[in-house]
Amino acid sequence: MAQDQEQPVERTLVLLKPDAVVRGFAGKIISRFEDAALKIVGIKMKQMDAEFTRRHYFDLEERMGPEVYNVTATFMQQGPVIALVLEGADAVATVRKIVGSTFPNEAPAGTIRGDYSHYSKAASIASGKAAANLVHASGNKEEADQEVDLWFDKDELQDYRTLAEIFTY
Protein backbone atom coordinates (compact mmCIF):
# COMPACT_ATOMS: atom_id res chain seq x y z
CA MET A 1 0.00 0.00 0.00
CA ALA A 2 1.38 3.40 -0.97
CA GLN A 3 1.97 5.88 1.80
CA ASP A 4 0.63 9.41 1.43
CA GLN A 5 3.89 11.31 0.97
CA GLU A 6 4.13 14.84 -0.33
CA GLN A 7 6.58 15.33 -3.16
CA PRO A 8 8.98 18.25 -2.85
CA VAL A 9 7.64 21.23 -4.73
CA GLU A 10 9.31 24.23 -6.30
CA ARG A 11 8.21 27.76 -6.87
CA THR A 12 9.10 29.66 -10.01
CA LEU A 13 8.47 33.10 -11.44
CA VAL A 14 6.67 33.70 -14.71
CA LEU A 15 6.20 37.12 -16.26
CA LEU A 16 3.59 37.72 -18.91
CA LYS A 17 5.48 40.38 -20.85
CA PRO A 18 3.94 43.55 -22.28
CA ASP A 19 3.28 41.86 -25.65
CA ALA A 20 1.25 39.10 -23.96
CA VAL A 21 -0.74 41.64 -21.94
CA VAL A 22 -1.59 43.97 -24.85
CA ARG A 23 -2.48 41.07 -27.13
CA GLY A 24 -4.98 39.79 -24.54
CA PHE A 25 -3.29 36.42 -23.98
CA ALA A 26 -3.12 36.49 -20.16
CA GLY A 27 -6.01 34.10 -19.63
CA LYS A 28 -4.90 31.67 -22.32
CA ILE A 29 -1.33 31.59 -21.00
CA ILE A 30 -2.34 31.20 -17.36
CA SER A 31 -4.66 28.35 -18.36
CA ARG A 32 -1.72 26.48 -19.88
CA PHE A 33 0.00 26.42 -16.49
CA GLU A 34 -3.14 25.47 -14.60
CA ASP A 35 -3.84 22.72 -17.15
CA ALA A 36 -0.45 21.25 -16.22
CA ALA A 37 -1.50 21.15 -12.52
CA LEU A 38 0.75 24.06 -11.56
CA LYS A 39 -0.71 26.14 -8.75
CA ILE A 40 -0.77 29.95 -8.73
CA VAL A 41 0.44 31.08 -5.31
CA GLY A 42 1.07 34.73 -6.23
CA ILE A 43 -0.10 37.09 -8.96
CA LYS A 44 0.16 40.83 -9.61
CA MET A 45 0.31 43.37 -12.42
CA LYS A 46 3.21 45.83 -12.41
CA GLN A 47 4.71 48.51 -14.60
CA MET A 48 8.49 48.02 -14.48
CA ASP A 49 10.51 51.20 -14.02
CA ALA A 50 14.21 51.54 -14.85
CA GLU A 51 15.39 50.71 -11.32
CA PHE A 52 13.23 47.59 -10.99
CA THR A 53 14.18 46.44 -14.49
CA ARG A 54 17.86 46.73 -13.53
CA ARG A 55 17.23 44.63 -10.40
CA HIS A 56 15.38 41.94 -12.36
CA TYR A 57 17.94 41.78 -15.19
CA PHE A 58 20.91 42.43 -12.90
CA ASP A 59 23.34 40.22 -14.84
CA LEU A 60 22.01 40.56 -18.41
CA GLU A 61 24.32 43.41 -19.38
CA GLU A 62 27.37 41.49 -18.17
CA ARG A 63 26.30 38.27 -19.92
CA MET A 64 24.96 39.72 -23.19
CA GLY A 65 26.27 43.28 -23.44
CA PRO A 66 24.75 46.74 -23.03
CA GLU A 67 22.86 46.69 -26.34
CA VAL A 68 20.91 43.54 -25.42
CA TYR A 69 20.22 44.92 -21.95
CA ASN A 70 18.98 48.27 -23.29
CA VAL A 71 16.70 46.66 -25.88
CA THR A 72 15.29 44.26 -23.27
CA ALA A 73 14.80 47.01 -20.68
CA THR A 74 12.99 49.24 -23.17
CA PHE A 75 10.72 46.37 -24.20
CA MET A 76 9.86 45.39 -20.62
CA GLN A 77 9.06 48.99 -19.65
CA GLN A 78 6.70 49.72 -22.56
CA GLY A 79 3.64 48.35 -20.77
CA PRO A 80 2.49 46.40 -17.73
CA VAL A 81 3.55 42.86 -17.00
CA ILE A 82 1.71 40.20 -15.03
CA ALA A 83 3.91 38.38 -12.53
CA LEU A 84 2.98 34.90 -11.36
CA VAL A 85 4.52 32.58 -8.83
CA LEU A 86 3.72 29.03 -9.80
CA GLU A 87 4.20 26.03 -7.55
CA GLY A 88 4.43 22.34 -8.28
CA ALA A 89 6.72 19.35 -8.56
CA ASP A 90 9.59 20.28 -10.92
CA ALA A 91 7.89 23.63 -11.52
CA VAL A 92 10.93 25.32 -13.10
CA ALA A 93 11.49 22.64 -15.74
CA THR A 94 7.76 22.15 -16.33
CA VAL A 95 7.18 25.85 -16.94
CA ARG A 96 10.16 26.09 -19.31
CA LYS A 97 8.80 23.13 -21.31
CA ILE A 98 5.35 24.74 -21.55
CA VAL A 99 6.83 28.11 -22.55
CA GLY A 100 9.15 26.81 -25.30
CA SER A 101 12.43 28.10 -26.74
CA THR A 102 13.47 31.72 -26.19
CA PHE A 103 13.01 32.55 -29.85
CA PRO A 104 9.43 31.73 -30.85
CA ASN A 105 10.37 30.60 -34.37
CA GLU A 106 12.41 27.82 -32.72
CA ALA A 107 9.67 26.83 -30.25
CA PRO A 108 7.64 23.77 -31.16
CA ALA A 109 3.90 23.90 -31.73
CA GLY A 110 2.09 23.22 -28.49
CA THR A 111 4.28 25.61 -26.50
CA ILE A 112 3.17 29.12 -25.61
CA ARG A 113 5.83 30.77 -27.76
CA GLY A 114 5.35 28.27 -30.59
CA ASP A 115 1.60 28.81 -30.70
CA TYR A 116 1.32 32.58 -30.20
CA SER A 117 4.42 34.11 -31.78
CA HIS A 118 6.92 33.61 -34.57
CA TYR A 119 9.61 36.24 -33.89
CA SER A 120 13.19 35.16 -34.60
CA LYS A 121 16.66 36.11 -33.37
CA ALA A 122 17.45 37.38 -36.87
CA ALA A 123 14.38 39.64 -36.84
CA SER A 124 15.35 40.92 -33.41
CA ILE A 125 18.88 41.78 -34.56
CA ALA A 126 17.69 43.34 -37.82
CA SER A 127 15.06 45.51 -36.12
CA GLY A 128 17.08 46.35 -33.02
CA LYS A 129 14.04 45.32 -30.97
CA ALA A 130 13.66 42.69 -28.30
CA ALA A 131 12.24 39.34 -29.34
CA ALA A 132 8.53 39.58 -28.57
CA ASN A 133 8.35 36.18 -26.91
CA LEU A 134 5.41 36.76 -24.55
CA VAL A 135 6.77 35.18 -21.37
CA HIS A 136 9.73 35.22 -19.02
CA ALA A 137 10.34 32.02 -17.05
CA SER A 138 13.03 31.48 -14.43
CA GLY A 139 15.92 29.49 -15.87
CA ASN A 140 16.77 27.34 -12.86
CA LYS A 141 15.87 26.83 -9.19
CA GLU A 142 18.36 29.41 -7.88
CA GLU A 143 17.17 32.05 -10.34
CA ALA A 144 13.56 31.23 -9.47
CA ASP A 145 14.23 31.74 -5.76
CA GLN A 146 15.91 35.12 -6.42
CA GLU A 147 13.19 36.30 -8.78
CA VAL A 148 10.31 35.25 -6.53
CA ASP A 149 11.96 37.13 -3.63
CA LEU A 150 12.41 40.23 -5.82
CA TRP A 151 8.85 40.33 -7.13
CA PHE A 152 6.84 39.15 -4.10
CA ASP A 153 6.86 39.74 -0.37
CA LYS A 154 6.29 36.59 1.66
CA ASP A 155 2.82 37.81 2.72
CA GLU A 156 1.80 38.05 -0.97
CA LEU A 157 2.28 34.30 -1.49
CA GLN A 158 -0.57 31.97 -0.64
CA ASP A 159 -0.58 28.47 0.80
CA TYR A 160 -3.51 26.23 -0.16
CA ARG A 161 -4.19 22.86 -1.76
CA THR A 162 -5.84 22.34 -5.13
CA LEU A 163 -7.78 19.27 -6.21
CA ALA A 164 -5.06 18.56 -8.77
CA GLU A 165 -2.51 18.52 -5.96
CA ILE A 166 -4.53 16.09 -3.88
CA PHE A 167 -4.74 13.62 -6.75
CA THR A 168 -1.40 14.29 -8.45
CA TYR A 169 1.11 14.67 -5.63
SS (H, E, C) the chain: CCCCCCCCCEEEEEEECHHHHHCCCHHHHHHHHHHCCCEEEEEEEECCCHHHHHHHCCCHHHHHCHHHHHHHHHHHCCCCEEEEEEEECCHHHHHHHHHCCCCHHHCCCCCHHHHHCCCCHHHHHHHCCCCCCCEEECCCHHHHHHHHHHHCCHHHCCCCCCHHHHHHC
Which residue numbers in the chain have pLDDT < 70?
A: 1-7, 169
Q: Looking at residue 121, which CATH number applies to its domain?
A: 3.30.70.141
Asked whether residue 75 is assigned to any structural domain, the reply reads yes
pLDDT given at position 2: 44
What distance in Å separates the CA atoms of residue 9 and residue 168, rounded to the nearest whole number? Answer: 12
Total domains present in the chain: 1
CB 152 within 8 A of CB 85: yes
pLDDT 10s digits, 2-24: 445 556 789 999 999 999 999 99
What distance in Å separates the CA atoms of residue 80 and residue 108, rounded to the nearest whole number? Answer: 27
pLDDT given at position 80: 98
Asked whether residue 128 is assigned to any structural domain, the reply reads yes
pLDDT given at position 119: 86
Asked whether residue 164 is assigned to any structural domain, the reply reads yes
Asked whether residue 4 is assigned to any structural domain, the reply reads no
Range of the domain at 57: 10-168
pLDDT given at position 24: 98
| Average pLDDT over the chain, rounded to an integer | 93
> Given its phi and psi angles, is residue 128 left (phi above 0), alpha (psi -120 to 50 degrees) or beta?
left
pLDDT given at position 168: 73
What distance in Å separates the CA atoms of residue 74 and residue 60, rounded to the nearest whole number? Answer: 13
Asked whether residue 5 is assigned to any structural domain, the reply reads no
Q: Which residues are catalytically annotated?
A: 136
What distance in Å separates the CA atoms of residue 46 and residue 145, rounded to the nearest whole number? Answer: 19
